[in-house]
Amino acid sequence: ILTKIDDVSVFNDTCVRWQINLGRINPQIAYVISIKGQRLDPMESVHEETVNLTTNSRTPEVCLALYPGTNYTVNISTAPPRRSVPAVIGFQTAEDDLLEDDGIFNISIFNETCLKLNRHSRKVGSEHMYQFTVLGQRWYLDNFCHATSFNFTTWERAPVVCLDLYPTTDYTVNVTLLSSPKGHSVQITIATPPAVKQTISNISGFNETCLRWRSIETADMEEMYLFHIWGQRWYQKEFAQEMTFNISSSSRDPEVCLDLHPGTDYNVSLRALSSELPVVISLTTQITEPPLPEVEFFMVHGGPLPRLRLRKAKEKNGPISSYQVLVLPLAFQSTFSCDSEGAASFFSNTSDADGYVAAELLAKDVPDDAMEILIGDRLYYGEYYNAPLKRGNDYCIILRITSEWNKVRRHSCAVWAQVKEIPCNCNFLRLHIHRANSGDTQIRHSHCYRWRVLDWAPWLLW
């Protein structure tokens, strides 16, 4: 059955009614109402909409949400499966200059920094001005503040505005419709994510433990930088240093000096908190002087020199390479330089006034606890002969520790003993190594002992 739609008319400017004739039957009929409106002002877009209506009335009517001052074409037909001849009517809505804009709008966010403003008012064709006030702060920076404001004018009912915002920042955006009599405002918050691009360039080291870099994003604006530092030593497997800290700077070329251990390889990761991408740089610190030898000082007058106890030094400032025992004339103790490389072996010694190296022990040959060594035992230690001390001379015994790495050599020395008025000698005692009890790792501070021997010492004779 073909339904006929007659007498289509408009009332109250935006309402439409029509008639149908189905005899005595009043069935429920579904209608499809297609609306197409064109504003005379070319700046405004076309208004298109479809409305569904179901009713059993013989004179159906519907009020449509139409724009004022707009030419509309309305097409009315029945929905399938019922068939009808479409009825079409064209009309223009009144231009109501007295209609006030209620100023109400809402805001939606997309693409992280873009805003879409949706006005509720049906009044179109007029210009509207919005005022934007933007304030950004970072939770991790007390002095950071990004503030800006501007006006935006548009004819559109749903304009889009994209803001230029900093990454990793919490923003409050206040938008006010200035053309509204009530000055309606909407406030929203935006939390921008970290940047996905690198914001640090030209990173380099100087003065061995210092870094400088160029900040790409920051222009006289404070930024926080996160440091993660790992330190390792190839010669000390148990050594591991890890540090995490942050600094703030508003410089385009920040610099920082790090508290690093000597003789260590470091990897430094640096990241601006406004970025997801860190930069990594490697640093190697040079060795410094080894710890001073921990010795028990002996002063001997006219008697035998006791066994000297050699303790292994800790590798705090670099790898320990060797231990040397030097014999010097006592008169030269005050002028001896620990860094002097001129000390020769006993047999290459040119005069009694020159000192010599009595023993050299590689670090790997020294037990972890301690060992004892006797001056003048006529044994070779490395390339050096430990000769008996000459009678009638005064001597100074020095222990020198050497650390060497990356073509850098450092020394530390301690006076081990002073020997005065050596008597004649004949025999010698061989090297005796004494191992401390298991678990005894305590190192005592140096003590001073005075030895007085009334008898002569035949074991020191030539």
Token reading at 307: 């066994």
Residue 347 DSSP symbol:
T
Q: Is the pLDDT of residue 219 over 70?
A: no
Token reading at 457: 């010492």
pLDDT of residue 161: 94
- The structure's pTM equals 0.59
Of 93-97, 113-117, 298-302, 390-394, give the lowest mean pLDDT range.
93-97
CA dihedral 10, 11, 13, 15 (to 10 degrees): -70
Q: Per-residue pLDDT tens for 301-345?
A: 877 788 999 999 999 999 999 999 999 999 888 888 898 876 788
Q: Is the pLDDT of residue 157 over 90?
A: no
- Decide if 105-191 and 200-284 have a common fold: yes
Segments of 56-177 assigned E as strands: 61-63, 70-78, 83-85, 87-92, 105-110, 114-119, 128-137, 146-154, 160-162, 170-177
Token reading at 113: 């920094």
The architecture of the domain spanning 2-92 is Sandwich (2.60)
SS3 of residue 363 by DSSP: helix
Distant-in-sequence, close-in-space partners of 245: CB < 8 Å, separation ≥ 6: 226, 227
pLDDT of residue 83: 83
Element (DSSP H or E) covering residue 225: strand 223-232
| Amino acid, single-letter form, for residue 176 | T
Q: Position of tokens 């009929």?
A: 29
Band the pLDDT of 455: cuts 50, 70, 90: very low
**Residues 40 and 67: beta-carbon distance below 8 Å:** no
One CATH from 2.70.150.10, 3.40.50.2000, 2.60.40.10, 2.40.50.140 for 200-284: 2.60.40.10
Q: Per-residue pLDDT tens for 173-200?
A: 999 988 766 678 889 999 999 988 888 9
Token reading at 365: 């040959």
pLDDT of residue 154: 86
Q: Per-residue pLDDT tens for 34-91?
A: 999 887 655 556 788 999 998 888 899 999 888 877 888 899 998 888 888 788 888 8
Other beta carbons within 10 angstroms of residue 124's beta carbon come to 21
pLDDT of residue 121: 59
- Greatest C-alpha distance within the chain: 151
SS3 of residue 332 by DSSP: helix
Other beta carbons within 10 angstroms of residue 107's beta carbon come to 14
pLDDT of residue 436: 32
Q: Going by DSSP bridges, is the β-strand pair 29-39/384-385 parallel, antiparallel, or unpaired?
A: unpaired
**Residues 293 and 412: beta-carbon distance below 8 Å:** yes
The counts of H helices and E strands in the chain are 0, 33
Mean per-residue pLDDT, 383-403: 91
Domain residue extents for the chain: 2-92, 105-191, 200-284, 297-460
pLDDT of residue 202: 93
**Residues 308 and 459: beta-carbon distance below 8 Å:** no
Q: Per-residue pLDDT tens for 58-74?
A: 899 999 888 877 888 89
**Residues 322 and 341: beta-carbon distance below 8 Å:** no
**Position with higher pLDDT, 121 vs 447:** 121
Band the pLDDT of 448: cuts 50, 70, 90: very low
Fold of 105-191: Immunoglobulin-like (2.60.40)
User: Taking all residues of the chain, what is their mean pLDDT, rounded to a whole number?
Assistant: 82
Mean per-residue pLDDT, 105-125: 78
Q: Is the pLDDT of residue 96 over 90?
A: no
Phi and psi angles of residue 460, each rounded to the nearest 5 degrees, phi first: -100, 5
Q: Is the pLDDT of residue 107 over 70?
A: yes
Q: Is the pLDDT of residue 441 over 70?
A: no
**Residues 460 and 376: beta-carbon distance below 8 Å:** yes
**Position with higher pLDDT, 115 vs 453:** 115
Does residue 81 have a cis bond before it (omega within 30 degrees)? yes
pLDDT of residue 196: 82
**Long-range contacts of the stretch 95-98 (C-beta < 8 A, 24+):** 95/68, 95/69, 96/68, 96/69
Q: Per-residue pLDDT tens for 220-254?
A: 788 999 999 999 999 888 899 999 999 999 899 99
Of 60-69, 144-153, 256-265, 423-432, give the lowest mean pLDDT range.
423-432
Q: Is the pLDDT of residue 449 over 60?
A: no
Q: Return the top range by mean pLDDT from 105-114, 122-131, 348-357.
A: 105-114
**Residues 310 and 296: beta-carbon distance below 8 Å:** no
